[in-house]
Amino acid sequence: MRQTTRRQPDERPDDSGTVRVAALAGIPAVLREHDVELAPVLVAMGLSVSTFDHSETRISYRTAGRLLQHCATVTGRRHFGLLAGQHATASSLGTLGELIQRSATVQSALDSLIAHLHLQTRGGVPTHSVDGTHASLGYAIYLRDMPGTAQAYDLVTAFEFNILKTICGPRWSPVEVSFAHAEPSDIRPYKQLFGCRLQFGADRTELRFKKQWLAQPPVGSDAVQHGLLQRQLLEQEAIAPDDVVSHVSEALRRMVANGRVNETLVCDLLATTRRTLHRKLAARGTTFRALVEAVRYEVARQLLTDTDMTTAELASSLDYADASAFNRAFRRWTDMPPAAWRARIRSNASA
């Protein structure tokens, strides 16, 4: 009998993932509030007891996910990520946080956040969209089989909520918050924090708010300071690794998270031509199409694991023509249909 081989997409997108601990600084605070000692928790995760002593310390993105999950267990607070995220503010981002607060408009502040966050975090990307009368700021985790995704999404959403409150002022509020994870047993902490309509099991994690806020100047807008801070960030970008595969993959992750993939837009974002982009990717042993499929594979696995979205909903979210096209692609990757893969993953998790 002929043996079949799985044809998983090109796995070149960076899977190492790191995060600056300043974004996780709420963890020690929330543990103290629940009379749990920090040191034993860190040791259990294989981390140094001095991990949180310096804000610039970086830890593995996956370790951060496991840490959040473990903290939720030892404190008995299933919404631990939400609690920890409330301690993070724009200032937690250091120079980047100062830059967005000094921007000319809220829109330019979000543009800077999206453009430069990769200097601090690799494992997820911020997302942003504008449609009709509303805009959104969200986050998409792209590491395959990331532990503690629900906790991580809750932390980042609370973090982004605080950032928008800081730059827009206390009158700002979201009209809806969606989460790419299942509904928790107790949603009261979420209602208390966000004070708006909530949607769980969604295809993306994001805060939606009225578009009019984008044209407003941030509370601390300052053109002179912004120019100085911008130069500092550009200097950091200049010494960051110039990896075309990582740059394309990050752009695609934002597009897939927003349900749209556009090669021309990717070229515009990277200030290059389609021919040059293809040549650079070929030199790295991959193609644009392979990277698109790799990113779709990452996102599909996360949504199948953490939500109850139907195959049709997943196909639409990932920008496939229809459910059949998504089914065929998923079978190429895993030799099984999406529903069977989801059932196997959840069965293994229960076991």
The answer to whether residues 181 and 316 belong to one domain is: no
Q: Which pLDDT does position 288 carry in this prediction? A: 92
The answer to whether residues 24 and 102 belong to one domain is: yes
Mean pLDDT (whole number) for 98-106: 97
- Tell me if residue 128 falls in helix, strand or coil: strand
Instruction: Say yes or no to pLDDT of 95 above 70.
Output: yes
The answer to whether residues 186 and 80 belong to one domain is: yes
Distances (CA, A) of 261 to 225, 278, 284, 292: 35, 16, 21, 8
Which of the listed residues 166, 197, 215 is the one where a domain comes to its end? 215
More confident residue, 81 or 14: 81
pLDDT tens digits, residue range 262-285?
Answer: 888 788 767 688 898 898 888 888
Check which CATH number belongs to the domain holding 161 and give it. 3.90.1520.10
Q: Specify the number of domains making up the chain.
A: 2
Q: Which pLDDT does position 272 carry in this prediction? A: 80
Check which CATH number belongs to the domain holding 295 and give it. 1.10.10.60
pLDDT tens digits, residue range 30-81?
Answer: 999 999 999 999 999 999 999 999 999 999 999 999 999 999 999 999 999 9
Q: Which pLDDT does position 221 carry in this prediction? A: 96
Mean pLDDT (whole number) for 320-341: 91
Cβ 59 vs Cβ 18: under 8 Å: yes
Q: Which pLDDT does position 194 carry in this prediction? A: 98
Residue 26 within any structural domain of the chain: yes
The answer to whether residues 251 and 335 belong to one domain is: yes
Q: Which residues make beta-bridge pairs with 60?
A: 18
Percent of the chain with pLDDT over 70: 93
Instruction: Say yes or no to pLDDT of 92 above 80.
Output: yes
Distance CA(108)–CA(246), nearest Å, equals 23
Q: Which pLDDT does position 280 carry in this prediction? A: 87
- Tell me if residue 127 falls in helix, strand or coil: strand
Residue 232 within any structural domain of the chain: no
Q: Which pLDDT does position 112 carry in this prediction? A: 93
Q: Which pLDDT does position 81 carry in this prediction? A: 98
Q: Which pLDDT does position 64 carry in this prediction? A: 96
The answer to whether residues 286 and 211 belong to one domain is: no
The answer to whether residues 291 and 167 belong to one domain is: no
Lowest mean pLDDT among 21-30, 115-124, 245-254, 291-300: 245-254
Residue 3 within any structural domain of the chain: no
Return the residue matching tokens 């229960």: 350
The answer to whether residues 58 and 191 belong to one domain is: yes
The answer to whether residues 318 and 277 belong to one domain is: yes
Residue 234 within any structural domain of the chain: no
Q: For the chain, give the mean pLDDT.
A: 89
Residue 225 within any structural domain of the chain: no
More confident residue, 9 or 78: 78
The answer to whether residues 54 and 187 belong to one domain is: yes
Mean pLDDT (whole number) for 85-101: 96
Instruction: Say yes or no to pLDDT of 12 above 60.
Output: no
Q: Which pLDDT does position 266 carry in this prediction? A: 84
Q: Which pLDDT does position 251 carry in this prediction? A: 80
More confident residue, 12 or 29: 29
346 band by pLDDT with thresholds 50, 70 and 90: confident
Task: Look at strands 176-178 and 197-199 and give their pairing.
Answer: parallel
Residue 227 within any structural domain of the chain: no
241 band by pLDDT with thresholds 50, 70 and 90: low
Residue of 80, 54, 49, 55 lying closest to 152 (CA atoms): 80
Q: Which pLDDT does position 9 carry in this prediction? A: 58
The answer to whether residues 175 and 308 belong to one domain is: no
Distances (CA, A) of 76 to 47, 69, 141: 21, 11, 25
Q: What is the pTM of this model?
A: 0.80
Which of the listed residues 215, 249, 282 is the one where a domain comes to its end? 215
The answer to whether residues 103 and 191 belong to one domain is: yes
DSSP assignment string, 215-245: GSPPTT--HHHHHHHHHHHHHHHHHS---HH
Distance CA(303)–CA(239), nearest Å, equals 35
| DSSP secondary structure code for residue 184 in this structure | P
The answer to whether residues 196 and 333 belong to one domain is: no
Instruction: Say yes or no to pLDDT of 125 above 80.
Output: yes
Residue 128 within any structural domain of the chain: yes
Residue 116 within any structural domain of the chain: yes
- Tell me if residue 139 falls in helix, strand or coil: strand
> SS3 helix, strand, coil % of the chain, rounded to 5?
55, 10, 35
Give the domain range for residue 47: 18-215
Distances (CA, A) of 266 to 22, 136, 248, 274: 30, 20, 7, 9
DSSP E strand boundaries for the chain: 18-20, 58-60, 121-122, 124-131, 134-141, 176-178, 197-199, 205-210
